[in-house]
Amino acid sequence: MVMGEAAAHDLPNSLRPEARTVHEFRLNGISLSLPAGLATPEILSKLGDGTYEADEARSADRCVRPGFRVLELGAGIGYVTAMCAKRAGPQNVLSVEANPALIPVIEANLARNGLSGVTLVHGAATGHVEEGATADFAVSEGYTGSSLDGKGRAVTVPLISVHDLIRAHKPHVVLMDVEGAEADMFNRVWKCPLRFCVMELHPKKYHARTIKKIVDLMSAMDMTYDPVTSRGKILGFRKVWGAGDAPEPLEDDGEGEA
């Protein structure tokens, strides 16, 4: 049956014929596909010229090493996820994404790169939450910029405590792009063998004291500013090793403070 123009126009965006078109790209050796229904012209342009998530990709290249455990908060379409999995091993990567429409996209992109062993969790990472808690997540056009306190179509998503994720995964690297939710994640020291943490700050969404709280907590965990991964709103930290200290072995159980 051929669908008439008026009927197609009445369909939700995700079901329209043009939404079934898939765009394909290759960045830093990672093969990516993206349904047209999720792509804005700006996203497609950045994917096409190689500038898509360039700072995040550089951070992954800087921080992630073979055998490191990686916690990624805000996976997008799985580009940086795949880079981390390729370097550290898929079994060492735990990625969290709140937008339900992106979960199958991430899974497909990991599969096409032979990296399906990544642990992918659907939910919005935040600070302390009660078990089973949910919240409305605002999905913006084109998916970038979606957040718990943003504008757009609201979908109900599980809330996940960052402290539970850290306790379970004991990451050496944390990569974070959660559109302002990071403000609630720095109320107590993370107990893990943390070596690098890179996040995108959102100063328009919280007071400068929140940024100070983040910096102070990182300092309390013997983390210092990392000029290699920091740029603009991207703020990177790395572990401070004493002159006679050796890095923790990868088999460390992570029970001590980072």
CATH of the domain at 217: 3.40.50.150
pLDDT at 137: 87
Give 231's DSSP letter.
B
Considering only residues 13 and 226, tell me which one the structure prediction assigns the higher pLDDT.
Answer: 226
pLDDT at 148: 72
Q: Does some domain include residue 4?
A: no
Q: Does some domain include residue 234?
A: yes
Band the pLDDT of 149: cuts 50, 70, 90. confident
158 pLDDT higher than 60: yes
245 pLDDT higher than 80: no
Band the pLDDT of 252: cuts 50, 70, 90. very low
Q: Does some domain include residue 220?
A: yes
Q: Does some domain include residue 37?
A: no
- Confidence (pTM): 0.84
Q: Does some domain include residue 211?
A: yes
Query: In the chain, how many domains are there?
Result: 1
Note whether 149 and 122 are within 8 A (CB): no
Give the three-state DSSP class for 65: coil
DSSP strand pairing (70-73 vs 93-97): parallel
Nearest CA to 119 among 89, 99, 144? 89
Rounded-to-integer distance, Cα 16 and Cα 5, Å: 10
Supply the range of the domain harboring residue 81: 53-239
Q: Does some domain include residue 257?
A: no
Rounded-to-integer distance, Cα 137 and Cα 82, Å: 24
Rounded-to-integer distance, Cα 204 and Cα 147, Å: 13
1 pLDDT higher than 70: no
Band the pLDDT of 241: cuts 50, 70, 90. confident
Q: Does some domain include residue 12?
A: no
Give residue-wise pLDDT tens across range 170-203.
999 999 988 767 778 898 999 999 999 999 988 7
pLDDT at 199: 94
% of the chain with per-residue pLDDT over 70:
84
* CA distances, 69 to each of 13, 22, 97, 188, 252 (Å): 37, 32, 17, 21, 11
Band the pLDDT of 246: cuts 50, 70, 90. low
Q: Does some domain include residue 147?
A: yes
